[in-house]
Amino acid sequence: MTKHFPRPEGSPLMLDWFDGHAVNLSATERRATSLPTRRTVKKEWQAAWLLRAITCIDLTTLAGDDTEGRVQRLCAKARAPVRADLLEALGIEKVTVGAVCVYPTMVAHAVKALEGSGIPVASVATGFPAGLTPLPLRLAEIRYAVEQGAKEIDIVITREHALRGDWAALYDEIRAMREACGAAHMKAILATGDLKTLTNVYKAAMVAMQAGSDFIKTSTGKEDVSATLPVSLTMVRALRDYCGRTGQMVGFKPAGGLRTAKDAMNWLILMKEELGTRFMMPDLFRIGASSMLGDIERQLEHHVTGRYSAANRHALA
């Protein structure tokens, strides 16, 4: 990976990138609240948007009682996230999720269950979710997950670095994690619910990108507050600013508490409005979710049934 920006010797980091930067909370909240209402997706495009959302889902299980059997069932769902009859009615041959996301000791089970599917396995690492184990152990955990076959690593940051404003320490930590990931893609979880202010969120996002993250991700799903639209708006604006200054496109992954088809639509709208359609593709956008697929499938069913009813009514008229 060459896209990180080395911290110049003796320099605290490219702090001028955000020095004096403060996120206006009420403006961000106003803009975030208006997002879902300012743009509506036409009915005939809704199924296409939902199918796109499926391709962007990191289908996740991160529970203390995870077993090989649960991971196998999750992987079966990842291969076939929508019922065959619905897909046929929608005129789609195949759709799969973006990735399956598990704990490091479950990676080998997931790799086996997904063999031949082309679906990558993502692993959380670095003492997920708190990230408070010693750095050498956190780096070893990354290397273990990669050896097990993970192609994507979701790391967690030391929140204290951000809370103390020690951005150089945060940069150095994430750089070390980036090195440990090797060829695997790295998603940096900022745990935004712990960062107290949107300004901290913006700065942590900038530092994570400078340190070579392929994605920035909102939450572990274990904080009191997970992905919200204001936090996501702040992060995608950081992405936009970063891209403007460097030409580098970094991905975005909201995660935690996203359960409904409406959530999927809202976050896709956010990406389209702020960054454009290129950022609605799975290589630049993922939704971390353990239980969103059920509602998306229900909405697709409504769509198909509705279309059929209209056709039936027309036939009987």
- Residues in contact with ligand G3H by the rule CB under 6 A: 60, 62, 101, 220-221, 255-258, 288-291
Cβ closer to ligand G3H: 101 or 264? 101
Cα 57 from chain centre: 8
Cα 5 from chain centre: 22
Cβ closer to ligand G3H: 28 or 220? 220
Pairwise CA distance, residues 295 & 225, whole Å: 22
Cβ closer to ligand G3H: 192 or 220? 220
Pairwise CA distance, residues 70 & 87, whole Å: 25
Q: Please name every residue paired with 59 in a beta bridge, in sequence order, or none if there are none.
A: 100, 289
Strand residues in the chain grouped as ranges (E): 57-60, 99-102, 121-124, 152-156, 185-189, 215-217, 251-253, 287-289
Cβ closer to ligand G3H: 210 or 299? 299
Three-class DSSP category at 289? strand
Least distance in angstroms from the C-beta of 89 to ligand G3H: 28
- 283 assigned to active site: no
Of 151, 187, 203, 253, the active-site residue reads 253
Least distance in angstroms from the C-beta of 270 to ligand G3H: 17
Least distance in angstroms from the C-beta of 84 to ligand G3H: 25
Other residues' Cβ atoms within 10 Å of the Cβ of residue 283: 14
- 112 assigned to active site: no
Cβ closer to ligand G3H: 90 or 258? 258
Of 151, 187, 203, 217, the active-site residue reads 217
Least distance in angstroms from the C-beta of 83 to ligand G3H: 21
Amino acid 42 reads: K
Of 154, 194, 214, 263, the active-site residue reads 154
Least distance in angstroms from the C-beta of 226 to ligand G3H: 6
Name the residue with the smallest CB distance to ligand G3H.
221
- 217 assigned to active site: yes
DSSP string covering 188-218, please? EE--GGGS-SHHHHHHHHHHHHHTT-SEEE-
Could you list the active site residues?
Answer: 154, 217, 253
